[in-house]
Amino acid sequence: ILIKGSDYIDAIKDIKEIVFDKTGTLTKGEFEITKIDTFENYTEQEVLKYAAMGEKYSNHPIAVSIKKAYNEKIDEKLISDINEISGKGISVKIENKQVLVGNEKLMQENNIEYTKCNEIGTVVYVSIENKYSGYILISDEIKEDSFKAIKELKDNKKQTIMLTGDKKEVGEDVAKKLGIDKVYTELLPDGKVKKVEELIKQKNGTLAFVGDGINDAPVLALSDIGIAMGGLGSDAAIEAADIVIMTDEPSKINKAIKISKKAMRIVKQNIVFAISIKALVLVLSAVGIATMWEAVFADVGVSVIAVLNAIRILK
Ligand code: ADP
Ligand code: MG
């Protein structure tokens, strides 16, 4: 757990509300393709190929998984005019054909007549030359560690909230399985910012946001304490965050809260101890009954004891 500065060690113990991003934070962000369905005489391999080519330059977890499933060399020369629309998908030209790879919002925005897929999972729709050509159904797994993390946070009376750009069914399913208090779905990146601004305005206490920075770096910067997943997370996230969790385990937040409480307790003990000994020796010497050795103890001795006391945090 990397904490960027002592202010945050102090602040973590006061966290009341924790807002999580879904993909890559509570879930693994490693999508498995569970189904490909095609329309307009396209084959499954073709739909996958166009999707993988479109995602060539994206580092979104969805993009990484589609490229992994395609697993063939992609000729960059065939790809042009790439436009990644965050929270929606990709618009790109492949072999001079206009290709869209993304969610329902992207299809609706471009007036593509698509057939809605009602299966459980995240759906990536593909359109080629403004014609709907198929979808790729992918699913993500919840991290084992997320169950433990949410349970511990709730045991400690923290309010848990999840924000996601994914569709309602998927978001609510994940939130229900984890036992998260509140969930807001189908949010674009600026929707996430607005939601967190609203939550901060309600003043329910210190708010922490936990994300991987893909489409949520602004929220990391905005919240009282921004916590980033350092392994999977983007560079922007690590830069914008106040705390970085290198192992990507959400349960490390509980650990950070414990460390913060313990550290602050020891800091207070040391302050009280040092000031009271010094005040005592000051009074004794004022009335003329302090020896030289007592004065040395009040200065150097107290420093050494305070350092030894602080070392206990390492355990
Ligand atoms: P989350 O909030 O769960 O981390 P994002 O905000 O990163 O999700 O993305 C929200 C949705 O936008 C995804 O579920 C997906 O439907 C769509 N999307 C975003 N980027 C891409 C992409 N590169 N390719 C396909 N779909 C994408
Ligand atoms: Mg994300």
How confident is the model over 153-166, as pLDDT tens digits? Answer: 999 999 999 999 88
pLDDT value of position 3? 92
Taking the centre of ligand 2 as the mean of its atom positions, its distance from the CA of residue 147, in whole angstroms, is 18
Cβ density class 200-225: b for 16+ within 10 Å, e for less: beeeeebbbbbbbbbbbbbbbbbbbb
pLDDT range class, residue 131, cuts 50, 70, 90: very high
Give the separation between CA 229 and CA 149, rounded to whole angstroms: 14
- Residue whose CA is at the smallest distance from ligand 1 atom 12: 87
Residue 32 pLDDT greater than 80, yes or no:
yes
- The model's confidence at residue 195, banded by pLDDT at 50, 70 and 90, is very high
21 is known as an active-site residue: yes
Residue 204 pLDDT class (50, 70, 90 cuts)? confident
- CA–centroid distance, residue 189 to ligand 2 (Å): 10
CB 90 within 8 A of CB 80: no
The per-residue pLDDT for 8 is 92
> Which of 19, 23, 161 is the pocket-test mutation for ligand 1 (most atoms within 8 Å of CB)?
23
What is the model's pLDDT at position 199? 92
22 lines ligand 1 (CB under 6 A): yes
Mean pLDDT, residues 71-75 taken together: 88
pLDDT category, 252, cuts 50, 70, 90? Answer: very high
Judged against a pLDDT cut of 80, whether residue 214 lies above it is answered with: no
pLDDT tens digits, one per residue of 82-101: 999 988 999 999 999 999 99
109, pLDDT greater than 80: yes
What single-letter DSSP state applies at residue 22?
I
Indicate which residue's Cα is closest to atom 14 of ligand 1. Answer: 166
- Ligand 1 pocket member 215 (CB < 6 A): yes
Q: Cα 51 from chain centroid?
A: 26
Percent of the chain whose predicted confidence (pLDDT) is above 90: 70
Contact present, 213 and 237 (Cβ < 8 Å): yes
Confidence at residue 193, expressed as pLDDT on a 0 to 100 scale: 93
The reply to whether ligand 1 has any atom less than 6 angstroms from the CB of 52 is: no
Is there an atom of ligand 1 within 6 Å of 233 CB?
no
Strands 15-21 and 122-128: unpaired
Residue 276 DSSP SS3: helix
Report d(CA 215, CA 204) in Å as an integer. Answer: 25
Cα(134) to centroid(ligand 1), Å: 18
Stretch 240-269: mean pLDDT: 93
Q: Which residue among 21, 140, 212, 242 is the active-site one?
A: 21
d(C-alpha 175, C-alpha 160), whole Å: 10
Using 50, 70 and 90 to split pLDDT, how confident is the model at 213?
confident
Q: What is the pTM of this model?
A: 0.82
Sheet containing 159-163: order of strands: 2-3, 243-245, 225-229, 206-211, 15-21, 159-163, 182-184
Is 253 a residue whose pLDDT tops 90?
A: yes
- 3-state class of 9 per DSSP? helix
Whether the CB of 192 sits within 6 Å of ligand 1: no
